[in-house]
A and B are shown apart, each in its own frame.
Chain A
Amino acid sequence: MRSIVTVMGIDRTGIIAKVSDCLYRHGVNVLDINQTIMQNIFTMIMLVELESDGADAMLLQDLEKIGKEIGVDIRMQNEDIFNSMHRI
């Protein structure tokens, strides 16, 4: 299953490292990364591949924990929600 990870917040060192590390620990493969500063907000979007078919509650919890630790918003959503909304 492919999902989109979005990370938003104030830029600081270690964001990519921490998020990537967490994904690595959960066996998630990163397929693509896109990073910009939008209206002074650090925005990183990652396309990732998961082995499971459903939402991995532990992974989501870990991402949330890291987000709180470094002061950014992290979410992971199945790619289909974006495809269905923006593609016919």
Chain B
Amino acid sequence: MINTREIMETIKMIDDQHLDIRTITMGISLLDCVDSDANSACEKIYDKITRKAKDLVKTGEEISRLYGIPIINKRISVTPISMIAGASDAKDYVCFAKTLNRAAIETGVNFIGGFSALVHKGFTKGDKILIDSIPEALATTDRVCSSVGVATTKAGINMDAVKLMGDVITKSAQLTADKDSFGCAKLVVFANAVEDNPFMAGAFHGVGEGDTVINVGVSGPGVVKSALEKVKGADFGTVAEVIKKTAFKITRMGQLVAQEASRRLDVPFGIVDLSLAPTPEIGDSVAYILEEMGLEKCGTHGTTAALALLNDAVKKGGVMASSYVGGLSGAFIPVSEDAGMIAAAECGALTLDKLEAMTCVCSVGLDMIAIPGDTPASTISAIIADEMAIGMINQKTTAVRIIPVIGKGVGETVEFGGLLGYAPIMPVHGYSSDEFISRGGRIPAPIHSLRN
């Protein structure tokens, strides 16, 4: 029998250290829903999603009861809509977003991802229409998430798309100005977008995936921080070991839940995403892990090194715990969703430039960052371009989820509520990038993309 100490350790992780399963995400292919008539396509999409995912939420709740572990989110990701809607005669794709929203409400999931396009090398007709539809789609739905892949290591950076996304983000912010530009919190721009990511807002069901799949994302920054509290002053070898062991335990739990969900729903198990996903609650912060390593405030010198160690140790510990690891798998650093990041940004220790450096070594990118509402679209595009360059050169996924909050400036804060938290408005550089962005075209793929 498992001993008392081990049982108490698990219960403590769940009760005191906020250990939970962050999301069970069902990926659903919509490739068999294409139709030249947009209404028929929407009908097929609604039918397929509500049929495949009808038991998702219920099953999630049952598993939660069975193991006594909270499962925070049940979600759905679908094939990038640009590919499905592209076959139709529709002139804008807002109707597709509304269909996804209806299906999300019917199945009871809180977010559905896949109002997406992959345009790292160029636009199809469907991609163009989808991107143009994003601002209105995000303003008129509340559960639909959108993502656009504009760069890969293999293809380079589509700078026309980067320019366009600056405008799309600005427009999304304007259309949702009455809700603190919340639309932008549901929109991600990617380099090297992954096809099996269970986390929102960037989840979509890639074309290389099967018909349906279950992917699971775990959480657990609080558990890692608590484990590190016990090795105060120890060297980095010890720190890495402690993180690895903790990540192993967290991921094993994710694997167990993923397998059980897959069995009960009779849907193949895809991957477990090892990412440490923070929440705004005290004690569930990635920033506090970095501070536990000895930094006075997250964002100060040494933060990138601390994050690099954390990110790598999480992967090493987690990879042995699961038969299939995928998604983004690392440490997330969303500013508004992490109490420590919020505090560090508020006191000025954490800046946009430092966050950009941190994204070179963490799992994703500039995430949930609020900037002044009057930031020019070209500056937003330039922020995206920098982040895409980091992803392209380092052969990793990077992303930008940035919110220009209309009517607010530096020194003010914005409240998104729930897991999305709140954020101080962070300053951006005032010098223009306008001429740079208006060049357009493609930044060629780097030399190390030629690996064949």
**8 Å CB contact of A34 from B4, B68, B249:** B4
- Shortest A47–chain B CB gap in Å is 6
Contact residues, A34-81 vs B (CB, 8 A): 34, 36, 38, 43, 45, 47, 54-55, 57, 60, 75-81
In contact, A36 and B66 (Cβ under 8 angstroms) = no
Q: Are A77 and B4 in contact (CB under 8 A)?
A: no
B253's contact among A6, A38, A85, A87, by CB below 8 Å, is which?
Answer: A85
The reply to whether B11 and A6 form a contact with Cβ atoms under 8 Å apart is yes
Contact check, B8 vs A38: say whether CB atoms are below 8 A apart: yes
Is B171 interfacial (CB-CB < 8 Å)? no
Question: For chain B residues 374-414, which have a beta carbon within 8 Å of chain A?
Answer: none
Question: Interface size bucket, A side?
Answer: 20 to 34
> Counting CB contacts under 8 A, is A13 at the interface?
no
Task: Pick the most buried of B7, B65, B255: most chain A CB atoms within 10 A of its CB.
Answer: B7
- Residues on B with C-beta less than 8 A from A82 are 2, 6-7, 10
Pairwise interchain contact B2-A54, C-beta atoms closer than 8 A: no
Q: CA–CA, A6 to B255, complex, Å? A: 23
B65 and A55 within 8 A (CB) = yes
Most B CB contacts (10 A, CB to CB) among A76, A82, A85 go to: A85
Q: Which of A32, A60, A86 contacts B6 (CB 8 A)?
A: A86
* B75 interface contact, C-beta 8 A: no
Give the CA-CA distance A78 to B260 in the complex, in Å: 12
Asked if residues B65 and A6 are in contact (CB atoms below 8 Å), the reply is no
Q: A34-B4, A47-B1 are in contact. Are A80 and B256 (CB under 8 A)?
A: yes
Q: How far is the CA of A80 from the CA of B249 in the complex (A)?
A: 13
CB-CB under 8 A for A54 and B66, given A4-B7, A81-B10 = yes
Q: When the two chains form the complex, which single residue of B4, B66, B252 contacts A45, counting CB atoms closer than 8 Å?
A: B4
List chain A residues, Cβ under 8 A from B66. 54-55, 77-78
Residues in A with CB closer than 8 Å to B415 are none
Q: How far is the CA of A77 from the CA of B253 in the complex (A)?
A: 13
Q: Would you give the shortest CB distance from B220 to chain A, in whole angstroms?
A: 11
Bound CA–CA A45/B67 (angstroms): 15
Q: How far is the CA of A54 from the CA of B62 in the complex (A)?
A: 8
Q: State in angstroms the CA–CA spacing of A7 and B8 once bound together.
A: 11
Contact of B69 with A by CB under 8 A: yes
Report B-chain residues with C-beta under 8 Å of the C-beta of A38.
4, 8
The docked-state distance in angstroms from the alpha carbon of A76 to that of B64 is: 11
User: Is there contact, CB below 8 Å, between A75 and B249?
Assistant: no
Residues of A within 8 A of B249 (CB): 85-86
Residues of chain A contacted by B6 (CB below 8 angstroms): 82, 85-86
**A18, B7: Cα distance in complex, Å:** 22
CB-nearest residue of chain B to A4: B7
A80 to B6, CA, bound (A): 13
Residue of B6, B8, B68 most packed against chain A (CB within 10 A):
B68
Q: Is the CB of B7 within 8 A of A78?
A: no
Q: Is the CB of A85 within 8 A of B65?
A: no
Q: Are A85 and B10 touching (Cβ within 8 A)?
A: yes
CA of A45 to CA of B68, assembled, Å: 15
The answer to whether B256 touches A81 (Cβ under 8 A) is: yes
Decide if B8 touches A81 in the complex (CB within 8 Å): no
Tell me the smallest distance from the CB of B186 to a CB of chain A, in Å: 33
Residues of A within 8 A of B2 (CB): 4, 79, 82-83, 86-87
Residues of A within 8 A of B255 (CB): 84
* Docked complex Cα distance between A63 and B138 (Å): 44
- Which residues of B have CB within 8 Å of A6? 7-8, 11
CA gap between A45 and B5 in the complex, in Å: 11
B253 / chain A contacts, CB cutoff of 8 Å: 81, 84-85
Q: Which residues of B contact A78 (CB under 8 A)?
A: 66-68
Q: How far is the CA of A54 from the CA of B9 in the complex (A)?
A: 24
B4 near A43 with CB under 8 A, answer: yes
Min CB gap A81→B, angstroms: 4
Closest 5 CB pairs of A and B: A77-B68, A55-B65, A55-B66, A82-B2, A81-B67
Question: What residues make up the interface of B, taking CB atoms closer than 8 Å to A?
Answer: 1-2, 4, 6-11, 62, 65-69, 249, 252-253, 255-256
User: Can you report 14 residue pairs joining A to B where beta carbons are below 8 Å apart?
Assistant: A4-B2, A6-B8, A43-B8, A54-B62, A55-B65, A57-B65, A60-B65, A77-B66, A81-B68, A82-B2, A82-B7, A84-B256, A86-B6, A86-B10
Known: A38-B4, A85-B6. 13 other contacts (CB 8 A): A32-B1, A55-B65, A57-B65, A75-B11, A77-B69, A79-B2, A81-B10, A81-B253, A81-B256, A82-B6, A82-B10, A85-B249, A86-B10
